[in-house]
């Protein structure tokens, strides 16, 4: 474990050295997501300015859900974004072969090969939303709540990473995995709102099939005292199960990998 942590730190330093060679691009990339997410926030604000609440949820409560989702997404963007490029950048060009001849885990090498600084923007906007909404809602940040928040954000990030890993494995069989990845990833847009506003089938899907609800709705429900059932504590379990499934599928795909010979 210590060896891989040191290796990741070495990869990360080199990545930042490269990024800082073009500082304007680095700042634009890091801040671009803030501007993109502002449009989504404005949409929520416009809708909520016309109605008193959304099925019993206030604007500040919606912003808490939104912020938690952004924090989880930020971890995925920063540390696992390279999964999106597996097919087009590595497998199609033959560049994936170099991962197989080096004495480190190929999946670790793929993830460490690129830190996506755009995820910093997601983290900043998520943190700002959680802080602002929690102050407005009067959330009591006890040690338990702080630990719960940390656990929920990490679990949510792992859920995003695991689902991306599961869908990226299709690149081993059809080279281009991005259409499949987008189809699954984009369902997280539903998790920006309370699951209770949707049809029951959608709520079940976002809980057990594509469980983005554990990255936003369930943690927010716990922090707001709206839900204290076992569901609010299942995020780490769901994340661990998905990660296990994703890694087993990765190993399966790796066994069936055939180099393009490029």
For 32-78, what is each residue's pLDDT tens digit?
Answer: 677 777 777 777 787 777 777 888 899 999 999 999 999 999 999 99
The crossing angle, in degrees rounded to 10, of helices 119-137 and 59-80 is 150
| Mean pLDDT computed over 16-28 | 67
Q: Tokens 């540390």, residue? A: 79
Q: Where are the domains of the chain?
A: 2-255
- At 261 the pLDDT is 59
pLDDT attached to residue 27:
66
Average pLDDT over all residues of the chain = 90
Please compute the mean of the pLDDT values over residues 189-193 and round it to a whole number: 94
Residue 211 confidence (pLDDT): 98
61-85 burial: b if 16+ Cβ within 10 Å, else e: bbbbbbbbbbbbbbbbbbbbbbbbb
Quick check: 13 pLDDT over 90?
Answer: no
Q: What is the pLDDT of residue 232?
A: 96
Nearest to 130 by CA among 188, 68, 184, 88: 68
The dihedral through the CA atoms of 144, 145, 147, 152 has a sign that is positive
With 0-12 / 13-18 / 19 or more C-beta atoms within 10 angstroms meaning exposed / middle / buried, residue 191 is buried
| Percentage of the chain lying above the pLDDT 90 cut | 66
- The whole-number average pLDDT for the span 96-102 is 90
């Amino acid at each position: 474990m210590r060896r891989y942590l040191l290796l990741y730190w070495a990869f990360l330093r080199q990545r930042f050295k490269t990024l800082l060679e073009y500082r304007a691009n680095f700042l634009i990339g890091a801040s671009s997501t803030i501007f993109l997410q502002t449009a989504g926030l404005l949409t929520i604000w416009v809708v909520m300015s016309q109605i008193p609440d959304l099925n019993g949820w206030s604007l500040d409560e919606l912003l808490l859900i939104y912020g938690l989702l952004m924090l989880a997404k930020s971890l995925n963007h920063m540390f696992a974004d390279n999964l999106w490029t597996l097919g087009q950048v590595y497998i199609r060009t033959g560049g994936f072969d170099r991962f197989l001849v080096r004495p480190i885990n190929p999946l670790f090498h793929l993830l460490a090969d690129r830190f996506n600084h755009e995820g910093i923007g997601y983290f900043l906007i998520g943190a700002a939303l959680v802080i602002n909404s929690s102050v407005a809602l009067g959330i009591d940040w006890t040690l338990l709540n702080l630990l719960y928040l940390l656990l929920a954000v990490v679990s949510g990030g792992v859920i995003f990473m695991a689902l991306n890993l599961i869908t990226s494995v299709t690149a081993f069989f059809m080279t281009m995995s991005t259409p499949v990845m987008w189809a699954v990833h984009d369902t997280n847009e539903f998790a920006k709102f309370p699951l209770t506003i949707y049809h029951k089938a959608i709520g079940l899907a976002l809980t057990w099939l594509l469980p983005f609800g554990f990255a936003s709705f369930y943690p927010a429900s716990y922090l707001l005292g709206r839900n204290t059932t076992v569901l609010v504590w299942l995020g780490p379990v769901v994340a661990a199960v998905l990660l296990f499934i994703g890694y087993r599928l990765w190993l399966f795909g790796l066994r069936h990998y055939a180099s393009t010979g490029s």
